[in-house]
Homo-oligomer: A and B are copies of this chain.
Amino acid sequence: MRAAVLLVSGGLDSATVLAIARDQGYMCHAVSFDYGQRHRHELKAAVSVCSAAGIASHRTVILDPTPFSGSALTDGGDVPMDRSEDAMGSGIPDTYVPARNLVFLSYALGIAEGLGSSDIFIGVNAIDYSGYPDCRGEFIESFQETANLATRSGVDAGSIRIHAPLLEWTKAQIITRGQELGVEYGLTTSCYAPAESGAPCTRCDACRLRAIGFEQAGVEDPLRRRYS
């Protein structure tokens, strides 16, 4: 059984990626990052998602938050609320976090090399209004090339692969596939500004995109039942 390292945030995308990787027969080692995000609630969700999936290992890595400052998700102003679909879809959002996926993937690569694994999974998604530069296919391809130049395993075999299975999927497609694979979406969280209880705000971009996704997939979001 081949081992893979997966970035798991606690959100619905990475929970679906976890199910996809398991379905492809990988032994899954998950890693989550505490990078000073305000919605640290997601780290508890990541633990729940990984426990429910019954994977090989899950590690939460605490990162010095300095590089990640200045974002609306850390210490740089308020999370935008009640934005129109047009506004959500234009430009790089205030919730952009400097170098986030680059640091996460680099870390995952080191962990993978220690495990003798050449496969890393990430739940980035380039559509559904995402203006994040580090969620695009060009970035993922370029990182894969750099990873094969940076490491012993890359230089020896050139076989490091960054899997981004959701890259071109809509949120509705992601949810539909996750349902087929038995993902428990009630354990995931998406909200950038949840209440103390974990209840979603329903107004931030992440909540709105999640709601649109479930609506388009024709499925009721189990989180609604949980917090209603």
Interface residues in chain A, defined as those with a beta carbon under 8 Å from any beta carbon in chain B? 59, 61-64, 66-70, 92, 96, 98-103, 106-111, 113-114, 133-134, 136, 138-139, 142-143, 145-147, 149-152, 154-155
- List the 4 shortest-distance A-B pairs measured between CB atoms, nearest first: A67-B110, A99-B110, A98-B113, A142-B146
A30: min CB distance to chain B, Å: 13
**In contact, A103 and B107 (Cβ under 8 angstroms):** yes
| In the bound complex, CA of A143 to CA of B139 (Å) | 11
**In contact, B99 and A66 (Cβ under 8 angstroms):** no
Within the complex, which residue of B98, B103, B114 is in contact with A66, where a contact is CB–CB below 8 Å?
A: B114
| CB contact under 8 A between A99 and B150, given known A67-B109, A107-B67, A111-B66 | yes
Is chain A's binding surface mostly helix, strand, loop or mixed? helix
| CB contact under 8 A between A106 and B114, given known A149-B142, A152-B92 | no
**In contact, A102 and B155 (Cβ under 8 angstroms):** no
Q: In the assembled complex, which residues on chain B have CB atoms less than 8 Å from the CB atom of A145?
A: 142, 145-146
| CB contact under 8 A between A101 and B150, given known A106-B106, A142-B142, A142-B145 | yes
Q: In the assembled complex, which residues on chain B have CB atoms less than 8 Å from the CB atom of A114?
A: 66-67, 69-70, 98
- Residue of B with least CB distance to A66: B111
| In the bound complex, CA of A107 to CA of B65 (Å) | 10
Within the complex, which residue of B59, B69, B136 is in contact with A149, where a contact is CB–CB below 8 Å?
A: B136
**In contact, B107 and A134 (Cβ under 8 angstroms):** no
| In the bound complex, CA of A76 to CA of B204 (Å) | 46
Q: In the assembled complex, which residues on chain B have CB atoms less than 8 Å from the CB atom of A61?
A: 64, 66
| In the bound complex, CA of A136 to CA of B69 (Å) | 30
